[in-house]
């Protein structure tokens, strides 16, 4: 039995990062031997075991053979004859196909160390095209490592385009798309996820609502970048800056302007009612990808209200109250801060406006806290019905909003 540290832990150490979980591959062993050594089996599709003390994962070296469409269409072979090189060959990218033995010596048969130094995301073998999830993983790793200068190798991008052309990408299951997308939206450069998928031709198949934004013009006085797709990329980049690691804000940033793709051609470059038009494609995306409720609700709120937040100083006190109410702020107070941040991402995710102040976010937070502080204990509710209580609370909250704005 030989044990090697593999994958992300080795890659991240070479990059000077220390974030990845430690995974191991075991060569020359059997499931029975692993159990006898005190490891607990947990793998359903292939032999994976947990260490009795550290609970770290140890997987028997294995190979995979394509048997059908999609990422589940594989037959797995694991026995003592499978070599370390065989196991590393089935991995997606060379930077993830480096092993380290018990003495700290690297085993790098596919040039992963070279590609880390050259900042290249490159496939290990032609078997890359057999698993459509790898296309998503490359885009996600681009979102993580683009700030370090990583780019996708031309030959790998060619294979990704081939996966789109041959229909392999159409066999991705919604849950896996969302899993990879959610992780990408919390990375340092989530816009790279969209850029890589678009370059591969996969964005139109996976996120057609986002792909449709490219080439749609906006008014240059408000959007010097003009293109709605480029604006979305810039908003994603701002989301990573203002709310690092927050995929909720990232998803709201990605979807806030979907309605612009539905603006009638004769109305361009204006986008009247785009915040209302955007709800249908947003909900369609959420339904298709089985997006969790908390992501959907925040994204809908930002899509619907972002123009109202931008012009909050022009709104009546009662209208500000209604905006907060529609965002479910009084029941979900954390929602208002997230809406404020997402709207700031939209305002500053524009060419030349990245450093521009956005006082509307502070205004929204301030008036919300004032309205939220109103308690029914302060009201004379004796003999009042439920409807009357609700109306009195509403009026008191609007008054609190008015007072908070007057104190600026």
DSSP assignment of 246-271? -HHHHHHHHHTTGGGGGS-GGGTT--
Domain boundaries, the chain: 1-122, 132-202, 207-408
CB-count burial class (<10 Å; 0-12, 13-18, 19+) for 210:
buried
The Cα 209–Cα 363 span in angstroms is 32
The Cα 46–Cα 75 span in angstroms is 9
The Cα 346–Cα 337 span in angstroms is 14
pLDDT in the model for residue 69: 53
* Dihedral, CA of residue 293, residue 204, residue 192 and residue 14, to nearest 10: 90
The architecture (CATH level 2) of 1-122 comes to: 2-Layer Sandwich (3.30)
Which of 358, 251, 240 lies closest to 309, judged by CA?
A: 358
pTM of the complete model: 0.91
Q: CB within 8 A of 382, min separation 6: which ones? A: none
Give the count of alpha carbons within 13 A of 384, CB side only: 13
For the chain, 408 residues long, give each residue's pLDDT as a single digit of tens: 899 999 899 999 999 987 667 889 999 888 888 888 888 888 766 688 888 677 788 888 887 665 555 455 445 666 788 899 999 998 999 999 999 999 999 999 999 999 999 999 999 998 899 899 999 999 999 999 999 999 999 999 999 999 999 999 999 999 999 999 999 999 999 999 999 999 999 999 999 999 999 999 999 999 999 999 999 999 999 999 999 999 999 999 999 999 999 999 999 999 999 999 999 999 999 999 999 999 999 999 999 999 999 999 999 999 999 999 999 999 999 999 999 999 999 999 999 999 999 999 999 999 999 999 988 767 666 666 767 778 888 999 999 999 999 986
CATH 1.10.287.1080 is right for the domain spanning 132-202: no
pLDDT in the model for residue 375: 80
Main-chain dihedrals φ then ψ at residue 78, nearest 5 degrees: -135, 120
Are 1-122 and 132-202 in the same CATH fold?
A: no
Other CB atoms within 10 A of residue 23 CB: 17
Look up residue 21 and give its DSSP letter: P
241-276: buried (b, 16+ CB within 10 Å) or exposed (e) per residue? ebbeebbbbbbbbbbbbbbbbbbeeeeebebeebbe
Look up residue 214 and give its DSSP letter: T
Length of the chain, in residues: 408
Residue appearing with tokens 């479910």: 328
SS (H, E, C) 286-319: HHHHCCCHHHHHHHHHHHHHHHHHHCHHHCCHHH
136-167: buried (b, 16+ CB within 10 Å) or exposed (e) per residue? bbbbbbbbbbbeeebbbbeebbebbbebbeee
- The strand pairing partners of 50, in sequence order, are 40, 57
- Copy the structure tokens of residue 392: 């009195």
Distances (CA, A) of 378 to 73, 287, 393: 64, 43, 10
pLDDT in the model for residue 74: 47
pLDDT in the model for residue 53: 73
């Amino acid at each position: 039995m030989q044990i090697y540290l593999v994958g992300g832990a080795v890659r991240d150490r070479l990059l000077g990062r220390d974030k990845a979980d430690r995974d191991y591959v075991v060569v020359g062993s059997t499931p029975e031997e692993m159990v006898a050594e005190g490891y607990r089996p947990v793998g359903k599709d292939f032999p994976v075991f947990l260490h009795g003390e550290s609970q770290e994962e140890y997987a028997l070296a294995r190979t995979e053979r394509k048997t059908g469409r999609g990422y589940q269409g594989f037959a797995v072979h694991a026995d003592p004859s499978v070599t370390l090189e065989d196991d590393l060959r089935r991995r997606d990218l060379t930077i993830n196909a480096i092993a380290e033995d018990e003495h700290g010596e690297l085993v790098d048969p596919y040039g992963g160390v070279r590609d880390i130094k050259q900042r290249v995301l490159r496939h290990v073998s032609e078997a890359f095209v057999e698993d459509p999830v790898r296309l998503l993983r490359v885009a996600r790793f681009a979102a993580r490592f683009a700030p370090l200068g990583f780019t996708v190798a031309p030959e790998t991008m060619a294979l990704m385009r081939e996966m789109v052309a041959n229909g392999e990408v159409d066999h991705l299951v919604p849950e896996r798309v969302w899993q990879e997308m959610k992780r990408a939206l919390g990375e340092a450069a989530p816009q790279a996820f969209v850029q890589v998928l678009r370059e591969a031709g996969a964005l139109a198949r996976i996120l057609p609502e986002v792909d449709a934004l490219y080439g749609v013009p906006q008014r240059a006085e408000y959007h010097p970048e003009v293109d709605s797709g480029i604006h979305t990329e810039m908003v994603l980049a701002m989301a990573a800056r203002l709310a690092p690691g927050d995929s909720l804000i990232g998803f709201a940033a990605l979807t806030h302007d979907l309605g612009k793709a539905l603006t009638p051609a004769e109305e361009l470059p204006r986008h009247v009612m785009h915040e209302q038009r955007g709800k249908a494609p947003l909900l369609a995306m959420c339904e298709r990808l089985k997006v969790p409720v908390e992501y959907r609700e925040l994204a809908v709120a930002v899509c619907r209200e972002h123009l109202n937040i931008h012009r909050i100083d022009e709104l009546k006190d009662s209208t500000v109250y209604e905006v907060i109410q529609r965002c479910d702020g009084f029941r979900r107070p954390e929602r208002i801060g997230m809406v404020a941040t997402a709207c700031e991402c939209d305002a500053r995710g524009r060419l030349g406006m990245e450093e521009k102040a956005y006082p509307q976010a502070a205004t929204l937070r301030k008036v919300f806290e004032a309205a939220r502080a109103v308690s029914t204990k302060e009201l004379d509710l004796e003999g009042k019905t439920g409807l009357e209580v609700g109306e009195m609370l509403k009026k008191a909250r609007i008054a609190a909003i008015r007072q908070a704005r007057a104190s600026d």
